[in-house]
Amino acid sequence: MEKGSKYYHRNQREYEDAVKKLEHDVLKKIDGCALSGKPDKNDWITTCAAQGTVYPYILVAIDAVEALMQ
């Protein structure tokens, strides 16, 4: 897909939206243990063991979507 096409720009916006969603909605709800060593009150996953399993996958997903944007 060419960078100047309308489809390219639409996909770029969708990728940007996906990264924002992952960073600001998902990651913020599972980052307590990574940032402070204990789950935050707003965390969806309430144990550090479970957060430790899921958190890296969200980071990989963010990296993968960002790679698609290049």
Structural domain of 54: 45-70
Residue 39 is assigned to a structural domain of this protein = no
| 14-63 confidence digits (pLDDT tens) | 999 999 999 999 999 999 999 999 999 999 999 999 999 999 999 999 99
Task: List CB contacts of 29: < 8 A, sequence separation 6 or more.
Answer: 42, 43, 44, 45
**CA–CA separation, 57 vs 62, rounded Å?**
9
Residue 49 is assigned to a structural domain of this protein = yes
Rounded to two decimals, the pTM is 0.82
Residue 23 is assigned to a structural domain of this protein = no
Chain centroid to CA 9 = 21
Residue 40 is assigned to a structural domain of this protein = no
Residue 36 is assigned to a structural domain of this protein = no
DSSP 46: -
Q: Report which residue type is found at 69.
A: M
Residue 7 is assigned to a structural domain of this protein = no
Split into its structural domains, the chain has a count of 1
Of 20, 2, 15, give the one whose Cα is nearest residue 68: 15
